[in-house]
Structure 1
């Protein structure tokens, strides 16, 4: 019975992971030029929906996501390069709309903070371990101290 449930769970997991992503692009948004549409899709999967947090505008059903998808397509039809279209969107909505923010300016601090904190923590751990290993071992109890301890513990 356990093997059957495990096999069923594995089949379900594989089935869900093989499912294609669901896109929210409406038929009236699709460009007639297949090359431009492919570029628009490539840009859209890297832009975050301002409403849906960690969902790309290509996957989001929010109205703002639709507006952004249309704006990207308008910029491409107008002759912008992919970089120019993304820069235009970032200029209007800020770097928050990038699913993978650029590692420049103030973002560089955020990109470097995690590795820096890791290195600091590693250094502190190494120092603490070295100090602990170098710590002197307490001298053994003298006969008088052992008798006093036995008296306190009530041992005869």
Structure 2
């Protein structure tokens, strides 16, 4: 009984281990290009995944986009050109940090506005309760 469990566990580990994806080994012209690649793949989101950057995702589209970024970095394109290409192709969803403009203002500043409104309501309620308590005493 125990022997069959050990064999089953061993087979599971062998098959599971064979599915582990190897790390990509990419060669860059300069260490700066490698750093740029790493920054870009960490700052761009996988279009297929819910909340993973390109660096962490193993989805097929993420692999393709990492390869595209690698080619663009080696071709000497700037970070801005690469990000613009990705946004033009996949929309602003690929950006972890959306741009500051009118369409995203509520996303950036809405939580702060709600926090201030909530704090004001809290202060007003506390002051009213204090006044009612003072009158009743």
Tell me whether the two structures share a fold, i.e. TM-score over 0.5.
yes
Measured after TM superposition, the shift of residue 117 of structure 1 is 0.2
- Measure, in 2, the Cα distance between the counterparts of 1:38 and 1:24: 20
2:24 alignment counterpart: 26
Q: How much has 1:46 moved relative to structure 2?
A: 0.7
Q: Count residues with an aligned counterpart.
A: 114
Equivalences for 1:1-150 in 2 at 5 Å?
26-27=24-25, 30-35=26-31, 36-135=33-132, 136-137=135-136
Q: What TM-score comes out, normalization by structure 2 length?
A: 0.73
Contact kept, 8 Å, 1:24 with 1:58, in 2: the verdict is no
- Mind listing any 5+ residue stretches in structure 2 that lack a counterpart? 1-20
- C-alpha deviation, 1:39, in angstroms: 1.4
Residue 78 of structure 1, CA deviation: 2.6
Contact 1:24 1:59 in 2 (8 A): no
Higher helix share: 2
Runs of 4+ in 1 over 4 A off after TM superposition: none
Secondary structure at 1:45 match in 2: helix
* Deviation digits for residues 58-106 of structure 1 (CA, Å, limit 9, x no counterpart): 1111100011111112222232111111111111111111122223331
Which structure's CA Rg is the greater one?
1
Q: Is the 8 A contact 2:42 2:54 kept in 1?
A: yes
Is the Cα contact below 8 Å between 1:57 and 1:68 reproduced in 2? yes
Give the deviation of 1:24 after TM superposition.
Answer: 7.0
SS in 1 for 2:43: coil
- For the aligned residue pairs, the C-alpha RMSD in angstroms reads 2.0
Question: How high is the TM-score relative to the length of structure 1?
Answer: 0.65
C-alpha contact (below 8 Å) 2:48/2:59 kept by paired residues: yes
